[in-house]
Each structure stands twice: as C-alpha cells, then as structure tokens.
C-alpha cells in the first residue's frame, strides 16, 4: 500500500458512495480514484511541511503521532492569552509559554511510553533492552526535536486549497487469462441457471418467439 501527496485543489470528492475494486473511495485526482488518508475525527492528513495556523501561532507539520499532527511552532501570536485553571495559583500564559507547556506534556508522554516499553521488553537477565528493541523504542517514541514542537489535532476545514494532502490511489487489479476464463464460465453458468428456472416456471407458448430464439442461440435448444 503506497501513499502520495497531492494538492487539495486537485481532489474532486464523490457525491455518492462509490466503490472501485472493492474499495470505498473518497474521490478522484486527475481522473484516478483515491482514498484520503485520515487521522483523528476524520482529519485529513496534510503533507510534511504544510503550514498550519493555530490560535497561539503558526507552525509547520513535522510528523505524525497517534493519529495527530506533530507541529513545530515557528511564529507566536502576540495577542494570545491562556488563563490556567489553577485555583490556588492562577496564571495567564502568553503564546510562547503556552506552547512550552504543551511541549513539556509531549515530552512527559514520550517518557511514559518509553518506560512502559522498557518494562515489557527488557531482558530478565540484564534488566536492559536488547540493541534491536532499543532501536525500536527510539523509532516508535521519538522525543520532540525542538522546544516548540507539539502534538495537536484539528477539526473542520483547516487546510487551504493549495495545501497538499496524503492519498492512496486505488488501482484495478488486472485479470489473468485463466481468471478471465473462470469468470466468464461462472457468469455463463449463472445465466443458464436463471434461464432454466424461467423456462421451468413458464409454458413455452407464453414466451415470445424472439426471446425464445435469443435463449436458444445463447444456450442451445
């Protein structure tokens, strides 16, 4: 299964449910059927490098995690304020402080996942991970690459027509000669069974001569 990126403006959605090669498609790109890769709550997956706007600033999509986006915030909204819910020590965070708090949450979640992984896969003899499992852990649970990288999800239409999304093209599987012969044979057998059933249920004199001629021509007397 391979994916590719296309501009959102090149995508034409289907108006009614459409199935191609046993796959329910989302629409077409250049006349070719595609399925959009989606994330949490049906969110379209944007391509790496897509610029997104958030209440607290502007960011660039740098990766994906748990059906959400990893975004590096590169510009802060100076008018943004967030009031904490701490009753004893209430505080108001600006955009950079708020992003920093999200980044810390991101790091703590990675540390928690790594801790669980180590507990499950460490050696009972050495108490450590094997080199292979250690590489698996780094790959599955990478730390944020910057102090402004966060994990978020969007709802609704958050992409511009010029943005790129990730899709999978649906291609029809070509029949081999033997598969084609088997399909035609099965279709003919099914049609003959239907014709025989019709003839059993009706008197030949009640069937128009032209219909009888077509049946005889297709299936014999």
Q: Classify residue 12: in a domain, yes or no.
A: no
pTM above 0.75, yes or no: no
For the chain, how far is it from start to end, CA to CA, in angstroms? 50
Q: Classify residue 130: in a domain, yes or no.
A: yes
Task: Give residue-wise pLDDT tens across range 134-164.
Answer: 999 999 999 999 999 999 998 888 999 999 9
Token pair in block for residue 215? 């049946």
Longest pairwise C-alpha distance within the chain? 95
Task: Give residue-wise pLDDT tens across range 72-127.
Answer: 999 999 999 999 887 777 789 999 999 999 999 999 999 999 999 999 999 989 99
Tell me how many domains the chain contains: 2
Is-contact 163 9, C-beta < 8 A?
no
Secondary element (H or E) of residue 28 = strand 23-29
Containing domain of residue 212, as a range? 177-219
Give residue 96's Cα distance to chain centre. Answer: 32
Q: Classify residue 80: in a domain, yes or no.
A: yes
């Amino acid at each position: 299964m391979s994916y590719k990126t296309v501009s959102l403006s090149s995508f034409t959605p289907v108006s009614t449910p459409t199935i191609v090669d046993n796959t329910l498609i989302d629409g077409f790109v250049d006349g070719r059927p595609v399925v959009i890769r989606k994330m949490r709550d049906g969110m379209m997956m944007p391509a790496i490098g897509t610029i997104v706007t958030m209440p607290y600033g502007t960011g660039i999509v740098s990766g994906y995690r748990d059906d959400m986006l990893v975004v590096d915030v590169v510009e802060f909204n100076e008018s943004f304020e967030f009031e904490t819910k701490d009753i004893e020590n209430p505080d108001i965070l600006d955009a950079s402080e708020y992003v920093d708090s999200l980044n810390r949450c991101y790091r703590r979640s990675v540390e928690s996942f790594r801790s669980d992984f180590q507990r499950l896969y460490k050696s009972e003899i050495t108490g450590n991970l094997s080199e292979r499992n250690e590489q698996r852990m780094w790959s599955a649970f990478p730390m944020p690459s910057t102090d402004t990288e966060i994990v978020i999800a969007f709802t609704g239409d958050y992409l511009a027509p010029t943005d790129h999304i990730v899709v999978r093209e649906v291609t029809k599987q070509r029949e081999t000669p033997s598969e084609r012969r088997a399909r035609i044979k099965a279709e003919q057998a099914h049609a003959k069974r239907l014709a025989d059933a019709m003839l059993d249920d009706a008197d030949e004199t009640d069937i128009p001569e032209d219909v009888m001629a077509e049946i005889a021509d297709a299936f014999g007397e």
